Amino acid sequence: MVERPLGLRLGILVFDGVMMSSVAAPSDALRVADQLALLRFGAAAPTFRTELIHARGATSVRTSGGMQLSGIVAPEQDPDVLLLPGIMHGSAAELLAHCAALDAEIALLGAMHERGVRIAGCCTGSFLLAMSGLLDGRTATTSWWLAAAFRQAFPLVDLQADALVVESGSVTTAGGATAVLDFVFRQIASRVDPELAQQTAKFLLVDPERQSQAPYVSAALIEKPRSTLGEKVEKFLAQQMHRPLGVAEIAAQVGTSERTLLRHFQTQYGAGPLAHLQRLRVERAKALLETSRLSLDEIVERCGYSDTASFRKLFKRETHLTPADYRQRFSLRAH
């Protein structure tokens, strides 16, 4: 029997508290790709392998849901890619503390990176990758709800919070939860065949064309570092976003200087106060599109705009969808 050529060897770094979906989803996706490759290429089909790797030599771990995960191996050679799966957390502080305790895992990342292994962080696994220092000076993404906490903890990383997958040299990051599948499809496409990647995505009912986390963002769920200034600003903007606002007025209303206000927003949100205000207005529009039958003109007025056409452009830039498409996809009311 002719041995099939190797298409991809994916290593998944596991440890106690890992999210089962971040391990199972890429493993199953590669198994599907493996079977589809056999149907398409026959005996010469490239094969896809997944290996669970533990930095401390354990043979099993307990997942965040309490399940025991075994099948961990000591690989005979390095994988092509080492994936850091998501880590369940109750808060950003808890996540950072968990990552800080994974010293052996961080050492393994550095050693494999030195040997030329591509390292990828999925979902909250990007926090562990950032803590290793391998993201310093690079562009990255993470779970959208943790963007503010990530920026505060890792200021040397250029965070693109809306992106699904960001490749920066030999390091890759993927956004929240199912974005790990987008990462897997990219690996299949680049290493083996784009059509096989597309077939795998279709088989798993995943949209292979999605490019952004933006349509799924909910400002209410974003974890923000707490501060008196931040709470004052958010309260004022929420109450006054229906009318025109400027930086000078916002600073005066919350009792700070314009310079301090600008610094606060850049640190917390990676954008200025007016850009953040636009995002809040888009969030209000999203909520109204989801829960009401108001016309777009009525929604635009409630969001502090008078020009529906310009707001439609802003909405599409922020969410990658038109207001009509967004309502069709996410409306909570019966159509």
CB burial readout 65-76, b (16+ within 10 A) else e:
eeeebeebeeee
Residues 72 and 50 in one domain: yes
pLDDT in tens, 3-54: 888 899 999 999 999 999 999 999 999 999 999 999 988 888 999 999 999 9
Q: How many domains does the chain have?
A: 2
Give me the CATH number covering residue 21.
3.40.50.880
Residue 191 neighbours by CB under 8 Å, 6+ apart: 7, 8, 80
Residues 112 and 13 in one domain: yes
Evaluate whether residue 199 is within a structural domain: yes
Tell me what the pLDDT averaged over the chain comes to: 88
- Measured between alpha carbons, how far is residue 43 from residues 9, 12, 37, 284 in Å? 18, 27, 9, 55
Residues 236 and 202 in one domain: no
Evaluate whether residue 112 is within a structural domain: yes
Residue ending a domain, choose from 182, 216, 250: 216
Evaluate whether residue 1 is within a structural domain: no
Residues 22 and 171 in one domain: yes
Evaluate whether residue 273 is within a structural domain: yes
Residues 208 and 274 in one domain: no
Query: Is the separation of the CB atoms in 209 and 54 below 8 Å?
Result: no
pLDDT in tens, 201-252: 999 988 766 777 777 766 655 656 666 787 888 888 888 888 888 889 898 9
pLDDT in tens, 72-119: 988 788 999 999 999 988 888 999 999 999 999 999 999 999 999 999
Q: Which domain holds residue 99?
A: 6-216
